[in-house]
Amino acid sequence: MNIRFERQGQIRLVKHGYSWTFLFFGWIVFLFRSQFLLALSHFFVGGIAIWILSAMFISELRWMINPGSAFAIQMFLALLVNAVLAIWANRFSGRWYVKNDWRPLDEFPMNWNTPPLIRRTDQTSV
């Protein structure tokens, strides 16, 4: 299911559900969507999470891994962090569009918890 947003004749689509592109490409997805603040925040959130997780795993296993294995562990952890963040990536995009004066043309899914954002947009356009 797609949710369409419109502003000044432009239409953008946001899919409802899991963001497979975010799983594989991470914060770069937001960069291509021109959502620079989201890209920057996910770059730091994901980077810090990967750094903390890899520090925990690699420090515990440093006696049995070589540098190549450490890199593989970091890449696996990056994929793991992206897999968790991809659950909410499309919601973040939808909320970003509403906050930046894009008008939703379709109904939001109930689990996105966005009615206050939509009411705010409707009040400013009246």
Higher pLDDT, 105 or 124: 105
- Whether this model's pTM surpasses 0.85: no
Instruction: Provide the residue ranges of all domains of the chain, joining segments of one domain with +.
Output: 2-125
Instruction: Return the sign of the alpha-carbon dihedral for residues 98, 103, 106, 107.
Output: positive
pLDDT at 111 over 70: no
Q: 5 pLDDT exceeds 80? A: no
Q: pLDDT tens for residues 57-95?
A: 777 666 666 767 777 777 888 888 889 888 888 888 888
Position 126 scores a pLDDT of: 45
**CB 85, CB 42: distance < 8 Å:** yes
